[in-house]
Protein backbone atom coordinates (compact mmCIF):
# COMPACT_ATOMS: atom_id res chain seq x y z
CA UNK A 1 0.00 0.00 0.00
CA UNK A 2 1.47 3.31 -1.06
CA UNK A 3 1.02 6.47 0.98
CA UNK A 4 -0.20 8.98 -1.64
CA UNK A 5 1.21 11.90 0.32
CA UNK A 6 4.81 10.75 0.03
CA UNK A 7 7.23 9.83 -2.73
CA UNK A 8 7.73 6.08 -2.93
CA UNK A 9 10.74 4.53 -1.19
CA UNK A 10 12.41 1.98 -3.45
CA UNK A 11 13.53 -1.42 -2.21
CA UNK A 12 17.09 -2.56 -3.05
CA UNK A 13 15.80 -4.73 -5.90
CA UNK A 14 13.80 -1.80 -7.33
CA UNK A 15 16.87 0.41 -7.23
CA UNK A 16 18.93 -2.22 -9.04
CA UNK A 17 16.20 -2.58 -11.64
CA UNK A 18 16.11 1.20 -12.15
CA UNK A 19 19.87 1.48 -12.70
CA UNK A 20 19.91 -1.52 -15.05
CA UNK A 21 17.04 0.00 -17.03
CA UNK A 22 18.80 3.34 -17.35
CA UNK A 23 21.83 1.55 -18.82
CA UNK A 24 19.65 0.32 -21.69
CA UNK A 25 18.25 3.73 -22.63
CA UNK A 26 19.68 6.81 -24.30
CA UNK A 27 22.37 8.87 -22.52
CA UNK A 28 23.00 6.23 -19.82
CA UNK A 29 26.11 7.94 -18.39
CA UNK A 30 24.32 11.20 -17.69
CA UNK A 31 21.07 9.66 -16.48
CA UNK A 32 22.78 7.20 -14.16
CA UNK A 33 24.86 9.98 -12.58
CA UNK A 34 21.73 12.08 -12.04
CA UNK A 35 19.79 9.29 -10.36
CA UNK A 36 22.73 8.18 -8.22
CA UNK A 37 23.12 11.73 -6.87
CA UNK A 38 19.53 11.44 -5.76
CA UNK A 39 19.62 7.87 -4.40
CA UNK A 40 23.12 7.75 -2.92
CA UNK A 41 23.51 11.21 -1.33
CA UNK A 42 19.90 12.43 -1.25
CA UNK A 43 20.05 15.46 -3.54
CA UNK A 44 16.79 17.12 -4.59
CA UNK A 45 16.01 17.72 -8.29
CA UNK A 46 16.60 21.47 -7.89
CA UNK A 47 19.99 20.88 -6.26
CA UNK A 48 21.05 18.55 -9.08
CA UNK A 49 19.83 20.89 -11.83
CA UNK A 50 21.77 23.85 -10.40
CA UNK A 51 25.10 22.03 -9.99
CA UNK A 52 28.07 23.39 -11.89
CA UNK A 53 31.12 21.48 -13.07
CA UNK A 54 33.31 23.10 -10.40
CA UNK A 55 31.01 21.78 -7.67
CA UNK A 56 32.11 18.20 -8.42
CA UNK A 57 35.14 18.34 -10.70
CA UNK A 58 38.53 20.03 -10.90
CA UNK A 59 39.59 20.50 -14.52
CA UNK A 60 43.23 20.01 -15.48
CA UNK A 61 45.49 21.93 -17.85
CA UNK A 62 44.94 19.46 -20.67
CA UNK A 63 41.76 19.42 -22.71
CA UNK A 64 40.80 16.01 -21.35
CA UNK A 65 42.28 16.13 -17.85
CA UNK A 66 40.11 16.26 -14.75
CA UNK A 67 39.80 14.88 -11.25
CA UNK A 68 36.68 14.32 -9.18
CA UNK A 69 36.57 16.35 -5.97
CA UNK A 70 36.48 14.51 -2.65
CA UNK A 71 33.42 16.53 -1.66
CA UNK A 72 30.47 17.77 -3.68
CA UNK A 73 29.77 21.46 -3.12
CA UNK A 74 26.17 22.60 -2.72
CA UNK A 75 25.95 26.37 -3.11
CA UNK A 76 22.97 27.30 -0.96
CA UNK A 77 23.13 30.94 -2.04
CA UNK A 78 22.71 29.85 -5.67
CA UNK A 79 19.78 27.61 -4.75
CA UNK A 80 18.07 30.29 -2.69
CA UNK A 81 18.54 32.86 -5.45
CA UNK A 82 16.80 30.51 -7.86
CA UNK A 83 13.88 29.96 -5.50
CA UNK A 84 13.42 33.70 -5.08
CA UNK A 85 13.56 34.46 -8.79
CA UNK A 86 10.33 35.34 -10.57
CA UNK A 87 10.58 32.29 -12.77
CA UNK A 88 10.57 29.90 -9.86
CA UNK A 89 7.78 31.16 -7.63
CA UNK A 90 6.47 27.81 -6.49
CA UNK A 91 3.30 27.43 -4.52
CA UNK A 92 3.95 26.18 -1.03
CA UNK A 93 2.47 22.73 -0.53
CA UNK A 94 3.50 21.82 3.02
CA UNK A 95 3.02 24.00 6.09
CA UNK A 96 3.84 23.20 9.69
CA UNK A 97 2.39 24.88 12.78
CA UNK A 98 2.95 24.39 16.48
CA UNK A 99 -0.39 23.67 18.24
CA UNK A 100 -0.37 26.99 20.10
CA UNK A 101 0.44 28.90 16.94
CA UNK A 102 -2.37 27.18 15.09
CA UNK A 103 -4.93 28.08 17.75
CA UNK A 104 -3.71 31.68 17.67
CA UNK A 105 -4.16 31.79 13.90
CA UNK A 106 -7.70 30.45 14.22
CA UNK A 107 -8.51 33.27 16.65
CA UNK A 108 -7.05 35.86 14.27
CA UNK A 109 -9.16 34.52 11.41
CA UNK A 110 -12.31 34.56 13.55
CA UNK A 111 -11.65 38.18 14.52
CA UNK A 112 -11.09 39.22 10.91
CA UNK A 113 -14.28 37.49 9.81
CA UNK A 114 -16.27 39.35 12.49
CA UNK A 115 -14.81 42.62 11.25
CA UNK A 116 -15.72 41.75 7.68
CA UNK A 117 -12.11 41.72 6.51
CA UNK A 118 -10.95 39.69 3.52
CA UNK A 119 -9.04 36.57 4.44
CA UNK A 120 -5.84 35.81 2.53
CA UNK A 121 -4.35 32.39 3.40
CA UNK A 122 -0.79 33.54 2.68
CA UNK A 123 -1.08 36.10 5.50
CA UNK A 124 -1.02 33.20 7.96
CA UNK A 125 1.79 31.14 6.47
CA UNK A 126 4.68 30.52 8.88
CA UNK A 127 7.97 32.11 7.90
CA UNK A 128 10.30 29.87 5.93
CA UNK A 129 13.39 28.82 7.79
CA UNK A 130 16.46 30.49 6.34
CA UNK A 131 19.54 28.38 5.70
CA UNK A 132 22.38 29.98 7.64
CA UNK A 133 25.09 28.06 5.74
CA UNK A 134 26.24 29.49 2.42
CA UNK A 135 27.43 26.12 1.23
CA UNK A 136 27.44 22.45 2.12
CA UNK A 137 30.09 19.85 1.42
CA UNK A 138 28.94 16.27 0.84
CA UNK A 139 31.56 13.54 0.72
CA UNK A 140 31.65 11.60 -2.53
CA UNK A 141 32.43 8.20 -1.05
CA UNK A 142 29.96 5.97 -2.89
CA UNK A 143 31.95 3.98 -5.46
CA UNK A 144 29.03 3.59 -7.86
CA UNK A 145 28.33 7.32 -7.83
CA UNK A 146 32.02 8.21 -8.23
CA UNK A 147 32.37 5.94 -11.27
CA UNK A 148 29.20 7.33 -12.83
CA UNK A 149 30.34 10.96 -12.46
CA UNK A 150 33.78 10.13 -13.84
CA UNK A 151 32.28 8.28 -16.82
CA UNK A 152 29.94 11.16 -17.61
CA UNK A 153 32.59 13.89 -17.47
CA UNK A 154 35.01 11.74 -19.48
CA UNK A 155 32.33 11.23 -22.13
CA UNK A 156 31.77 14.97 -22.48
CA UNK A 157 35.49 15.67 -22.77
CA UNK A 158 36.02 12.83 -25.25
CA UNK A 159 33.34 14.37 -27.46
CA UNK A 160 35.45 17.52 -27.63
CA UNK A 161 33.10 19.64 -25.56
CA UNK A 162 34.63 22.86 -24.31
CA UNK A 163 33.88 22.47 -20.62
CA UNK A 164 34.65 25.25 -18.14
CA UNK A 165 34.29 25.26 -14.36
CA UNK A 166 31.15 27.39 -14.55
CA UNK A 167 29.38 25.13 -17.05
CA UNK A 168 26.34 23.24 -15.76
CA UNK A 169 27.29 19.79 -14.54
CA UNK A 170 24.38 18.26 -16.44
CA UNK A 171 23.24 19.43 -19.86
CA UNK A 172 20.01 18.55 -21.63
CA UNK A 173 19.75 16.63 -24.89
CA UNK A 174 19.68 19.97 -26.72
CA UNK A 175 22.89 21.07 -25.03
CA UNK A 176 21.32 23.60 -22.68
CA UNK A 177 20.89 23.89 -18.93
CA UNK A 178 18.23 21.82 -17.21
CA UNK A 179 15.59 23.82 -15.39
CA UNK A 180 14.66 22.21 -12.06
CA UNK A 181 11.14 21.51 -13.33
CA UNK A 182 12.40 19.88 -16.52
CA UNK A 183 14.87 17.71 -14.63
CA UNK A 184 12.17 16.74 -12.15
CA UNK A 185 9.95 15.57 -15.01
CA UNK A 186 12.85 13.68 -16.58
CA UNK A 187 13.65 11.88 -13.32
CA UNK A 188 10.00 10.89 -12.92
CA UNK A 189 10.01 9.62 -16.52
CA UNK A 190 12.97 7.33 -15.81
CA UNK A 191 11.31 5.94 -12.70
CA UNK A 192 7.74 5.47 -13.88
CA UNK A 193 7.92 5.05 -17.66
CA UNK A 194 11.32 3.47 -18.20
CA UNK A 195 11.55 1.32 -15.05
CA UNK A 196 7.79 0.90 -14.56
CA UNK A 197 7.91 1.67 -10.83
CA UNK A 198 4.41 2.72 -9.84
CA UNK A 199 3.93 5.70 -7.48
CA UNK A 200 7.58 6.74 -7.79
CA UNK A 201 8.44 10.41 -8.27
CA UNK A 202 11.50 12.60 -8.69
CA UNK A 203 11.71 12.76 -4.88
CA UNK A 204 11.85 8.98 -4.45
CA UNK A 205 15.64 9.05 -4.54
CA UNK A 206 15.89 11.47 -1.63
CA UNK A 207 13.24 9.63 0.37
CA UNK A 208 14.96 6.30 -0.29
CA UNK A 209 18.31 7.74 0.81
CA UNK A 210 16.80 9.17 4.00
CA UNK A 211 15.03 5.90 4.76
CA UNK A 212 18.12 3.71 4.56
CA UNK A 213 20.31 6.30 6.27
CA UNK A 214 18.13 6.09 9.35
CA UNK A 215 18.20 2.31 9.58
CA UNK A 216 20.62 0.82 12.13
CA UNK A 217 23.93 -0.49 10.72
CA UNK A 218 23.85 -4.13 9.65
CA UNK A 219 26.46 -6.70 8.74
CA UNK A 220 26.90 -7.83 5.16
CA UNK A 221 25.14 -11.11 5.93
CA UNK A 222 22.26 -9.33 7.66
CA UNK A 223 21.96 -6.97 4.71
CA UNK A 224 21.63 -9.91 2.31
CA UNK A 225 18.98 -11.44 4.53
CA UNK A 226 17.11 -8.14 4.80
CA UNK A 227 16.86 -7.91 1.02
CA UNK A 228 15.27 -11.36 0.93
CA UNK A 229 12.92 -10.78 3.86
CA UNK A 230 11.87 -7.39 2.46
CA UNK A 231 10.12 -9.01 -0.49
CA UNK A 232 8.52 -11.60 1.76
CA UNK A 233 6.91 -9.05 4.05
CA UNK A 234 3.28 -8.05 3.48
CA UNK A 235 3.09 -4.80 1.53
CA UNK A 236 1.27 -2.95 4.31
CA UNK A 237 3.99 -3.91 6.80
CA UNK A 238 6.74 -2.60 4.56
CA UNK A 239 4.87 0.66 4.01
CA UNK A 240 4.31 1.10 7.75
CA UNK A 241 8.06 0.78 8.33
CA UNK A 242 8.82 3.29 5.58
CA UNK A 243 6.28 5.85 6.76
CA UNK A 244 7.52 5.62 10.36
CA UNK A 245 11.05 6.47 9.26
CA UNK A 246 10.00 9.20 6.85
CA UNK A 247 7.62 11.13 9.10
CA UNK A 248 9.98 14.10 9.32
CA UNK A 249 11.52 13.96 5.85
CA UNK A 250 10.83 17.04 3.68
CA UNK A 251 10.35 16.00 0.06
CA UNK A 252 9.48 19.33 -1.59
CA UNK A 253 11.95 21.81 -3.00
Band of pLDDT at residue 128, cut at 50, 70 and 90: low
How many C-beta neighbours within 10 Å does residue 198 have? 8
Residue 72 within a domain: yes
pLDDT tens figures, 34-46: 999 999 999 999 9
Q: Does any domain span residue 123?
A: no
CATH of the domain at 173: 1.10.443.10
Mean pLDDT of 117-141: 79
Is 215 inside any structural domain? yes
For residue range 60-98, what is the model confidence (pLDDT) as tens digits? Answer: 987 689 999 999 999 998 988 888 774 545 555 677 778
Average pLDDT over the chain, rounded to whole?
A: 83
Per-residue pLDDT of 180-237, as tens digits, reads 999 999 999 999 999 999 999 999 999 999 999 998 875 545 545 544 444 444 444 4
197 found inside a domain: yes
Band of the pLDDT at 163, cuts 50, 70, 90?
very high
Query: The domain containing residue 20 runs over which residues?
Result: 12-84+135-246
- Please check whether residue 222 lies inside any domain of the structure: yes
Please count the structural domains in the chain.
1
Amino acid sequence: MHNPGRAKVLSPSEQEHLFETIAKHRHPEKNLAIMLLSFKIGLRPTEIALLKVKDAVTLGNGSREFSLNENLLLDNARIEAHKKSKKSKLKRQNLSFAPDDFHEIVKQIENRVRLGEKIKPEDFYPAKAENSENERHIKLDNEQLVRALQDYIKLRLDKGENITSDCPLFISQKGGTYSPNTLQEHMALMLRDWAGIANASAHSGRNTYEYYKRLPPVSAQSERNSVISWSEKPTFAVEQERVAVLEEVEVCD
